[in-house]
Structure 1
């Protein structure tokens, strides 16, 4: 434990609950927007309408089945947060509002919400590659938020976990090099955290921790391959990281792992917002979504509420 308390001094202080050595930049919203407005219908309008419809359906599900109200209410709150964030961006951009609205859904109760979340996740993720930078980050967070909600209960999912083939990692364009380095730093930290918490997790969670650590190692290897293909030297892991609170038992271990996954999600949204490369954005969406789903799993296990982050990867002020 001495390595946890006495890491190297460089970048060892936690900021805003994040792990040390993860000084992640905020999204480049203002710089990415540019001047002027697009002429076509705003593609975010259908997403916002879908989020509003999903929130209303979740409210109805909570009323119809009080024993499932807590789960339905979490969906309603998250989808309402999605609608608010999307509508704010729609109003800011001030494009024409025409275009299709929400996709019709017939399912009721949690089964209907399960269908809605799957559709909404795909609807958002499919838009990410072609959007302007800030919008791509926001919509990727909406997609990841839907995926995280699917992970709160098998009644809503559980949804699909994305895996990574390091050999298939795309070559990043020059402007994304720093963002990929920051994603690599987040992956290094997450791997270290999973190693730290192993001794504290109950036996029933060891397999999940092992699988999660393996996925982070695959993403680390992918980042290193991407940087090498661009002729950039990948930065190594720190020898130790400072956790936001001592890890003394299973619950505190789960909470720290959830923080590590939050930092990973933030780093990958940063990649999305600093590249127009469709291949790299697609890879980053999978990484962001995977981190959001793992974060939710650990928050559920730790008994934290809400268990699913509404907009995973959103930089904290």
Structure 2
């Protein structure tokens, strides 16, 4: 019978995948923040700002986890794809929801490929993304991130 514990290289690879997703989320949330208004859409502005800060924190945590596992964190790409139209609150909400759904899928992947404290951290991140997605108009799912 084989040992179900992932090899360290597998853990680092899974962490790198999550880090890449967080690099993208930080970039896109920065653009979404530039499309919201603290005075015209204060609730949306606050949600986008909070999501940006959280994803930035998760990105930094993942980089630290990769270093602790003996890896070298992959850098962010020079740029990421944005929808052509982000000038409305509806467009910002839709893109933010997609970011959180993508984050949930990424963290579900990390949960499946890690154990111990890393898995516990990934479960928390998965649940957080699923709940934050509700604030951007998502619907509850039985198994978020699938």
Match among 216, 222, 229 for residue 68 of structure 2: 229
| Structure 2 match to 1:81 | none
**What is residue 312 of structure 1 aligned with on the other side?**
144
Gapped regions of structure 1 (runs ≥ 5):
1-33, 36-131, 134-171, 301-306
* C-alpha contact (below 8 Å) 1:296/1:309 kept by paired residues: no
Q: Deviations over 1:59-114 (max 9, x none)?
A: xxxxxxxxxxxxxxxxxxxxxxxxxxxxxxxxxxxxxxxxxxxxxxxxxxxxxxxx
Q: Which structure carries more helix by proportion?
A: 2
Do residues 248 (structure 1) and 87 (structure 2) align? yes
Cα distance, 1:290 vs. partner?
A: 0.6
**1:241 alignment partner, SS class:** coil
Correspondence 1:23-172 to 2 at 5 A = none
Higher radius of gyration, 1 or 2: 1
Residues 116-147 of structure 1 deviation map (CA, whole Å, 9 limit, x = unaligned): xxxxxxxxxxxxxxxx79xxxxxxxxxxxxxx
Q: Is the 8 A contact 1:299 1:308 kept in 2?
A: no
Q: Is the alpha carbon distance of 1:262 and 1:245 closer, same or farther for their aligned partners in structure 2, counting shifts above 3 Å?
A: farther
- Runs of 4+ in structure 1 deviating by more than 3 angstroms, as ranges, are none
Mapped pair 1:269 → 2:108: yes
How many angstroms does 1:244 deviate by? 5.2
- Larger RCO of the pair (alpha carbons < 8 Å, separation 6+): 2
Q: Does 1:191 align with 2:7?
A: no
Tell me how large the CA RMSD over aligned residues is. Answer: 2.2
Selected match of 1:179 from 4, 8, 14:
14
Matched, 1:287 2:122: no
Cα separation, 1, equivalents of 2:24 and 2:127: 18
CA distance in 2, matches of 1:217, 1:279: 20
| TM-score, normalised via structure 2 length | 0.85
Instruction: Give yes or no for contact 2:48–2:96 (8 Å, CA) kept in 1.
Output: no
- Matches of 2:83 and 2:35, distance apart in 1: 16
Paired position in structure 1 for 2:53: 214
Which of 35, 45, 59 is the matching residue for 1:200? 35
Once the 2 structures are TM-superposed, how far is the Cα of residue 250 of structure 1 from its aligned partner? 0.8
Aligned equivalent of 1:159 = none
CA distance in 1, matches of 2:116, 2:83: 35
Cα deviation for residue 173 of structure 1 reads 3.2
